[in-house]
């Protein structure tokens, strides 16, 4: 601009040569210079060009270059003063410099297409841009007396008074943070195409920080034609070329008039609501005229809190009716929003007023009570209540008494609002709620205790007897303590209910909790008080709930304890279940000794193998093997059916179970060790009966009889269709065994199959078919050629047998199969030396029900018998099952689960079982009704197993057994108690029995002569006498 003034001719030449476009940002300075002549024009022409809508210095075109001011929050609308706050100090300084040089008198206001980074829709909601003129705002501010000082706008040397404005016009002295109404952009492409020409009125700096504001007056709508320059570091605004948009003429038709009146009515309704910026809205409405519909539309849009996109749509719209409709929709939304805010505000104020009123009344009431000495301070009353509760406690240990006193003293020094106050208060609540020294009186009548046990449970005589013994010791000592009882048995046999019966028999309180899957030791010993929400463990909770120091606590599922980084709960149970230690049990929360010696602990488990050894050592195991058919039948008739009918609301006269139906339910539907599945079947039947009763009217209801004919209608087809897998006898290679599971005893079959390769196959594999000299002699002595011998007696081809074992067997059982095959090969050479089947055959051994995992050593004798039966092609006895661990020397070792296996044999109608000799004492402990109908052979060596299994089948026999004499126990099928004998009379050992004089004869085996004799033993025969070994027997009382 200075060069133009000094050397105008040279500048005109430069302009003529390079064009005027590079100098567009400085054209305002050229056109409004006070030095005289503008380029190619006079001063008057330049002054005329500064008016909106006409390019300075031009006579024909209406388009003009402008600096574009980006608008973030909302667009500006023509005809009304707007306040634009500028948070960027560099932009404010640049605008002040442009105004000083005369280049910022007019700006182009364009809204950005999108919000800049770091600014959201919620951030742009705020005070409207539309304002009244600065002089009006100043008068209103002075009249109200709320002026905060006029902001002194420093235009860097400019003496214009337009840079000074009161805070009411935008207030640069405001303490509020400056809004981001405008800011930087990268290029002009980020701007909307339609904007407004802004006449800059004044600038105001923020005296409390960076930034400021400017007051502008939008004159008319403009359209962005092209971008002339991008923002730079010196000038942060881009230069654009804009064309004014002519004002729209409004035709006063009915639609325009109706929309105009509706907008005015909506604005009046809006003014009646207590919305934000209501005073500013009223001030603006009062100042500007509302007669022109389009002017009114621009005013309402400028004052609205609508989204920026909707406001831009109003600015762009050129059709008057459509613009009015959009504005009407905006004002309606503003009205609804204001009403909702007013409603919520009223609700909050009402709630606050109610709560405040209640609070004030409570404070007055509390103060009145204090004045009348009717109530002490809350804190003092709490402490007094604790001291009173502690004084009433009896039998509190000295350490616990001191601990409670210290905690009360600590509580008195804490503020009631302190978090520690509530921690101490909760601790004292627990301490004073425990039953220190408070016990219930035990029942000392043993007959009553026995009657209670018999009422709750059928059978289980050994379990009841052991519990009564435990009670009897307690009655004599005066306290029921000592060994911890652990009930081990399959599900559904009544372990938990026995614990309840013990509590009822002793007249004690009962508490049960399960530790199945428990990993956190804090559940047993409690949490330390340093944790938020800490509380004592289950044992202390049991004492608080029962309110006695001697309850019966049942710890369920103790065999399923977990262990992880949070601790080992089994270690925490060691102290609890040890009678020598639990007299001073310390819970982590209480941290004081609690006497648990008077608590009777009863544990339950399905198996004892998974219980940790130190914990198992502190318990006395009582095993519940399960129920036989007769016991299940009695339980069903005496307890399950009446209890199920009563619990389902069905009267007994509407349902009847025939004995045959109950018998079939037990035999073919519920073969588990317990009675839980049987209970479910009865419940299923009763539910169907209840449904039929509800569907029928009271007059047509009839009695439902459950019989064999309609049983499948109620419970479906039986899952067990027959008693045995092989009904007509087992084929060669199949032997029945006895197994123990966590669900009780079970029978299983061991199947062995195989074939010898043909001689041609052996030769094709390069094997030798030469006979040994001994084999030649054996064949010639028999008078048969090699080809005439059975396949199993053919000469060895030099190959090795291959065995495949299936049935989902465990590691121990797989090892048992290898031992069984090795011993079977050796034993086969002894009884039938020409037989090479086990040495060369390809065999496959399988144990059915492959979905069930199986493991354990007790199937050794069964697998060996299966291999020998296959090699000899001889079946074992049909009505026989066996169990026992086998060694490579042929010894039969002790196994477990004799009671469960005997019950399983009876359930499958097996008449003969073979057991290890060392398990004879376990078998004799069984009640007679559990072994009724069973013949048990107790063997020490596999020679006796072989003889018993293959006797009478034509299999070759050894001349003499290498084990001790076989002990055989026969229990008649109708046997309950021995007639004429004491119930607990011990049998005479077989070794001490004197054989009858008639015993050497085989005829003595036909009939014993006396029905009460059940002990039968095997007497060893003379060496070398197979007949004596198999037939000489004696009877003993």
DSSP label of 809? B
Residue pair 167/56 in contact by the 8 Å Cβ criterion: no
Residue pair 867/817 in contact by the 8 Å Cβ criterion: no
Q: Determine how β-strand 842-846 pairs with β-strand 238-244.
A: unpaired
* Cα 708 from Cα 712, distance rounded (Å): 8
Beta strands in 879-939 (DSSP E): 880-882, 885-886, 892-893, 912-916, 935-939
Instruction: Tell me the CA distances in angstroms from 933 to 119, 153, 258, 925, 1013, one per residue in order.
Output: 91, 117, 107, 16, 14
854 in catalytic set: no
632 in catalytic set: no
* 266 C-beta neighbours (distance < 10 Å), count: 18
Residue 293 main-chain phi, psi, to 5 deg: -60, -45
In angstroms, how far is CA 650 from the centroid of its own chain? Answer: 38
Instruction: Tell me the CA distances in angstroms from 627 to 498, 609, 902, one per residue in order.
Output: 15, 22, 11
Element (H, E) at 219: strand 212-229
In angstroms, how far is CA 435 from the centroid of its own chain? Answer: 36
β-strand partners of 81: 131
Residue pair 196/218 in contact by the 8 Å Cβ criterion: yes
Number of H helices, E strands in the chain: 36, 28
Our CA angle for 608, 623, 980, nearest 5°, is: 155
Residue pair 750/845 in contact by the 8 Å Cβ criterion: yes
* Cα 714 from Cα 685, distance rounded (Å): 5
Residue pair 665/678 in contact by the 8 Å Cβ criterion: yes
Catalytic residue among 138, 877, 899, 901: 901
Residue 793: strand, helix, or coil: helix
Joined tokens for residue 473: 């010791």
β-strand partners of 218: 198
* Cα 644 from Cα 490, distance rounded (Å): 22
The two most distant CA atoms of the chain are separated, in Å, by 161
Residue pair 576/584 in contact by the 8 Å Cβ criterion: no
- Is residue 114 classed exposed, middle or buried when 0-12, 13-18 and 19+ CB atoms within 10 A define those classes? exposed
The position carrying tokens 């003092």 is 380
* Cα 295 from Cα 319, distance rounded (Å): 14
Residue pair 288/305 in contact by the 8 Å Cβ criterion: no
**Minimal CA–CA distance to 919: which of 940, 935, 944, 904?**
940
Element (H, E) at 196: strand 194-205
Residue pair 73/179 in contact by the 8 Å Cβ criterion: yes
Q: Which residues contact 290 (CB under 8 A, 6 or more apart)?
A: 264, 296, 299
Element (H, E) at 106: strand 106-111
Residue 387: strand, helix, or coil: helix
Instruction: Tell me the CA distances in angstroms from 806 to 43, 733, 823, one per residue in order.
Output: 113, 15, 20
**Rg (the chain; Cα; Å):** 53
* Cα 693 from Cα 945, distance rounded (Å): 59
Catalytic residue among 858, 865, 961, 1029: 858
Q: Which residues contact 51 (CB under 8 A, 6 or more apart)?
A: none
CA 803, 809, 815, 820 torsion-angle sign: negative
Joined tokens for residue 677: 């599945």
Catalytic site residues? 858, 901
């Amino acid at each position: 601009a200075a060069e133009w003034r000094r050397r105008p001719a040279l500048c005109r030449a430069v302009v003529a040569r390079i064009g005027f476009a590079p100098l567009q940002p400085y054209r305002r300075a050229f056109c409004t210079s006070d030095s005289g002549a503008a380029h190619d024009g006079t001063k008057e022409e330049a002054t005329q060009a500064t008016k909106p809508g006409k390019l300075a210095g031009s006579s024909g075109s209406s388009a003009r270059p402008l600096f574009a001011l980006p608008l973030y929050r909302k667009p500006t609308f023509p005809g009304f003063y707007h306040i634009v706050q500028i948070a960027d100090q560099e932009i404010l300084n640049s605008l002040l410099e442009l105004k000083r040089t005369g280049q910022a008198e007019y700006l182009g206001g364009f809204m950005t297409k999108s919000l800049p980074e770091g600014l959201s829709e919620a951030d742009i909601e705020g005070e409207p841009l539309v304002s009244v003129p600065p002089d009006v705002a100043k008068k209103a501010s002075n009249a109200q007396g709320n002026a905060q000082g006029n902001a002194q706008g420093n235009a860097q040397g400019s003496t214009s008074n337009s840079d000074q404005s009161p805070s009411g016009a935008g207030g640069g002295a405001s303490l509020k943070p400056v809004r981001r109404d405008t800011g930087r952009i990268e290029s002009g492409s980020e701007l909307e195409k339609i904007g407004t020409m802004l006449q800059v009125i004044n600038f105001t700096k923020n005296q409390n920080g960076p930034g400021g504001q400017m007051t502008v007056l939008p004159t008319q709508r403009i359209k962005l034609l092209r971008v002339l320059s991008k923002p730079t570091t010196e000038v942060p605004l881009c230069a654009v070329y804009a064309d004014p948009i002519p004002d729209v003429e409004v035709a006063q038709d009915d639609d325009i008039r109706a929309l105009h009146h509706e907008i005015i009515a909506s604005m009046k309704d809006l003014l009646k609501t207590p919305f934000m910026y209501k005073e500013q809205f009223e001030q603006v409405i009062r100042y500007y005229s509302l007669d022109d519909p389009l002017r009114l539309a621009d005013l309402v849009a400028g004052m609205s809190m609508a989204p920026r996109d909707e406001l831009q749509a109003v600015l762009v719209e050129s059709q008057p009716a459509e613009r009015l409709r959009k504005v009407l929709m905006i004002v309606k939304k503003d009205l609804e929003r204001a009403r909702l805010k007013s409603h919520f505000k009223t609700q909050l104020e009402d709630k606050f007023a109610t709560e405040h009123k209640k609070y004030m009344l409570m404070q007055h009431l509390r103060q009145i009570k204090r004045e009348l000495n009717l109530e002490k301070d809350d804190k003092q009353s709490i402490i007094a209540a604790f001291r009173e509760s502690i004084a009433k406690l009896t039998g509190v240990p000295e350490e616990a008494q001191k601990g409670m006193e210290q905690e009360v003293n600590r509580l008195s020094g804490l503020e009631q609002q302190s978090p520690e106050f509530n921690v101490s208060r909760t601790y004292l609540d627990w301490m004073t709620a425990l039953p220190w020294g408070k016990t219930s009186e035990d029942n000392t009548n043993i007959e009553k205790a026995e009657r209670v046990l018999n009422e709750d449970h059928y059978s289980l005589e050994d379990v009841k007897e052991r519990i009564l013994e435990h009670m009897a010791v307690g009655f004599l000592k005066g306290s029921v303590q000592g060994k911890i009882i652990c009930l081990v048995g399959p599900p559904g046999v009544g372990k938990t209910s026995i614990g309840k019966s013990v509590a009822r028999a002793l007249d004690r309180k009962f508490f049960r909790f399960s530790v199945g899957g428990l990993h956190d030791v804090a559940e047993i010993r409690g949490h330390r008080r340093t944790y938020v929400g800490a509380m004592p463990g289950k044992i202390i909770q049991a004492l608080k709930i029962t309110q006695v120091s001697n309850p019966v606590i049942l710890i369920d599922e103790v065999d399923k304890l977990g262990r992880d980084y949070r601790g080992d709960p089994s270690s925490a149970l060691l102290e609890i279940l040890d009678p020598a230690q639990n007299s001073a049990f310390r819970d982590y929360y209480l941290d004081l000794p609690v006497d648990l010696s008077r608590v009777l602990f009863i544990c339950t488990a399905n198996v004892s193998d998974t219980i940790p050894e130190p914990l198992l050592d502190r318990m006395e195991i009582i095993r519940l093997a399960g129920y036989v058919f007769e016991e299940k039948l009695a339980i069903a008739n005496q307890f399950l059916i009446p209890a199920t009918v009563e619990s389902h609301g069905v009267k007994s006269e509407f349902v009847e179970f025939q004995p045959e139906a109950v018998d079939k339910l037990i035999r073919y539907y519920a073969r588990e060790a317990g009675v839980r599945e049987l209970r479910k079947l009865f419940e299923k039947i009763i539910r169907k009966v209840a449904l039929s009763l509800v569907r029928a009217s009271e007059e047509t209801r009839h009695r439902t009889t459950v019989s064999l004919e309609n049983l499948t209608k109620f419970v479906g087809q039986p899952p067990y269709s027959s008693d045995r897998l092989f009904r007509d006898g087992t084929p060669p290679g199949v032997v029945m065994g006895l197994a123990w599971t966590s669900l009780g005893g079970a029978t299983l079959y061991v199947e062995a199959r195989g074939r010898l390769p043909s001689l041609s196959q052996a030769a094709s594999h390069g094997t030798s078919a030469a006979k040994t000299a001994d084999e030649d002699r054996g064949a010639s002595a028999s008078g048969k050629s090699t080809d005439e011998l059975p396949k199993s007696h053919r000469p060895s081809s030099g190959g090795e047998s291959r065995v495949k074992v299936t049935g989902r067997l465990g590691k121990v059982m797989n090892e048992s199969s290898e031992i069984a095959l090795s011993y079977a090969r050796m034993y086969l050479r002894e009884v039938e030396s020409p037989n090479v089947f086990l040495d060369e055959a390809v065999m496959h051994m399988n144990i059915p029900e492959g979905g069930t995992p199986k493991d354990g050593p007790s199937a050794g004798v069964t697998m060996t018998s299966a291999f020998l039966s296959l090699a000899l092609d001889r079946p074992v006895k049909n009505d026989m099952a066996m169990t026992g661990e086998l060694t490579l020397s042929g010894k039969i070792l002790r196994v477990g689960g004799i009671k469960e296996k005997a019950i399983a044999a009876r359930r499958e109608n097996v008449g003969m079982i073979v057991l290890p000799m060392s398990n004879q004492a376990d078998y004799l402990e069984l009640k007679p009704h559990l072994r009724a109908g069973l013949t048990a052979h107790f063997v020490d060596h596999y020679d006796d197993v072989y003889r018993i299994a293959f006797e009478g089948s034509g299999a070759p026999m050894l001349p003499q057994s290498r084990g001790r004499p076989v002990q055989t126990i026969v229990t008649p099928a109708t046997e309950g108690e021995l007639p004429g004998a004491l119930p607990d009379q011990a049998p005479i050992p077989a070794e001490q029995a004197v054989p009858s004089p008639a015993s050497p004869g085989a005829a003595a085996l036909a009939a014993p002569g006396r029905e009460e004799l059940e002990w039968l033993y095997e007497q060893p025969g003379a060496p070398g006498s197979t007949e004596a070994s198999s037939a000489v027997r004696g009877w003993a009382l």
